[in-house]
Structure 1
């Protein structure tokens, strides 16, 4: 059999992206804009995106940071707080300022201190979102300090997500960056019209052993944390089967190196320079390239009721060396798999 040398697919979208702000935004946005037509922008800045005015301003900063001719579209989300109003959400959704709202449980991950302590406090918001078919994006971890960090996702499904879905059965929910067999099985059991999930390249490529290989690997620390191999295999099987419940969401999350190697290192993996190439590497390993376009370019838009892109991208079987670092003045960001070589490149 002749080895596949190129593959052309509909231009993908990334349904989970952190681009931060200021100098970091100016340096990292080009990597997402290079590979993807659209991207869901996470709202958890230090000053979170909690209303329409902030969202429009942030969107403009993102677009102004792209220094080359691009048709990239940032898709903005609203950070839910105890003070979010149904009126703000409804206006933002109908005016296409927001495409979705993001639920962070308080203190569950980076810049989530303004999040929700008790989900029942926002039942009126969730009712509004169900009524207008506005998607809810969820960082699905129960961060009760008595729950083992490796069990936070499965406990969230049992303790929070299942009761939530019983109350709001028609609420469109994306369970983001899933990491466990439990999440795969739960999502597959439900109608993909109302419940879907994103999967990151790093959770497909790695498991928790990798995080402790030859000592602690701070650049592989993320939330949800890498899980054991059986969970990684469940994620790989989910994408290799072409299930419509699952689609691309890289959760690329840049942090300055000094904050990653700090004694209280921050969670987040910056994979934007290579995310699409990592995904195709996994799909090739799984002999599942026939499902690659659906995962990258079709399942996400179908869930969000958005048009599928008309542009295409071509990936070539050609070595691609991932850059070692990105300089931010005198500081730096270390990308995922820095310095390593992948076997696929993007045709320019």
Structure 2
């Protein structure tokens, strides 16, 4: 069996910088037509110059692959309207992180004071710049996303013309919120469609499956599968592929992040095939994102074949992928 996907998109992607960027950028660019690149570098991407410089570094690192890096800014409440106007054409979205909630988010938002956030959110709404949000509180780790839903609702109600993307949703509560507000959308990762917390810590600890937001309960995974496999028009694929060196994952203080970029399409094809939903993969991995963000990615056809594919144990001696050393049922046979 053979399938093809037109212009697959990864709408939540960590490419890091420097040596790590050189390793992982070609792995995304090989099989995807574009990706929404996260801005949580050190220091974070908060200026027009930083956006342009980072894009240039990505383009150099990706080599000759046909791939568009869609850039983002790190949300700050002190951005001036004239700055947002000047940077609008260089970015696709602005990413909001609660302070300290995930990797390199220390400069994020502390508290969600509507009066403080409104000036920037109002200008974003007027300019048509979407807001992407890492939606977790600082509460008990299993409840953080569900506790954040009222904040999403507050934002959606007060800024009805602002597109708000709930990033890497993991709970049935987030899925339910999708249909309550016209301006709420979501990305879903590969790993949250496959795993629950039991896969991470139910036996021996699996550090390469540890991520934030943490994997949740079986009923949460079922809710995610339902909207992803059904190609719900408000959800799209965002890998949240988050590479860390092996010595930072297999260590005390394990870094959060699952590296899925080079095996994402194979893993998705296997999953959608297993559930008899291959006809919906195109919408989940490309069409919905194009409509939601109003983008036209480069033309790129990726062909996959139902033939076993052995996932490498490690890439460039540094980064361990999800499914390392395991066999997937689908492989990429061409991309271009």
Using the size of structure 1 for normalisation, the TM-score is 0.93
Q: CA deviation at 1:185?
A: 0.9
Q: CA deviation at 1:85?
A: 2.6
Question: Which among 207, 216, 234 is matched to residue 223 of structure 2?
Answer: 234
Q: CA deviation at 1:16?
A: 0.4
Name the residue aligned to 1:59: 55
Name the residue aligned to 1:134: 129
Alignment partners' CA distance in 1, 2:99 and 2:84: 20
The alignment partner of 2:185 has SS state of strand
Alignment partners' CA distance in 2, 1:196 and 1:237: 15
Name the residue aligned to 2:144: 152
Question: Which among 16, 19, 24 is matched to residue 20 of structure 2?
Answer: 24
Give yes or no for the alignment of 1:37 onto 2:72: no
Alignment partners' CA distance in 2, 1:76 and 1:306: 13
Give yes or no for the alignment of 1:269 onto 2:258: yes
Alignment partners' CA distance in 1, 2:43 and 2:300: 35
1:177-221 deviations in Å (ceiling 9; x for gaps): 000111111113332xx2210000000011111002431111111
The alignment partner of 2:95 has SS state of strand
The alignment partner of 2:170 has SS state of coil
Name the residue aligned to 2:91: 98
Alignment partners' CA distance in 2, 1:111 and 1:338: 26
Give yes or no for the alignment of 1:315 onto 2:304: yes
Alignment partners' CA distance in 1, 2:76 and 2:250: 30
Name the residue aligned to 2:110: 117
Question: Which among 279, 285, 293 is matched to residue 274 of structure 2?
Answer: 285
Q: CA deviation at 1:126?
A: 0.3
Q: CA deviation at 1:297?
A: 1.3
Give yes or no for the alignment of 1:172 onto 2:163: yes
Alignment partners' CA distance in 2, 1:242 and 1:43: 27
Gaps of 5+ in 1: none
1:129-179 deviations in Å (ceiling 9; x for gaps): 011111000001112xxx211111111012x11112121111101101000
Give yes or no for the alignment of 1:184 onto 2:175: yes
Give yes or no for the alignment of 1:15 onto 2:11: yes
Alignment partners' CA distance in 2, 1:87 and 1:104: 23
Alignment partners' CA distance in 1, 2:159 and 2:77: 19
Q: Report if the CA contact (8 A) 1:302-1:308 is conserved.
A: no
Total equivalences in the alignment? 332
Q: Report if the CA contact (8 A) 2:77-2:120 is conserved.
A: no
Gaps of 5+ in 2: none
Q: CA deviation at 1:308?
A: 5.6
1:44-90 deviations in Å (ceiling 9; x for gaps): 001110011001001001111123x2221101000012433332222
Q: Report if the CA contact (8 A) 1:18-1:41 is conserved.
A: yes
Alignment partners' CA distance in 2, 1:76 and 1:293: 23
Alignment partners' CA distance in 1, 2:180 and 2:277: 22
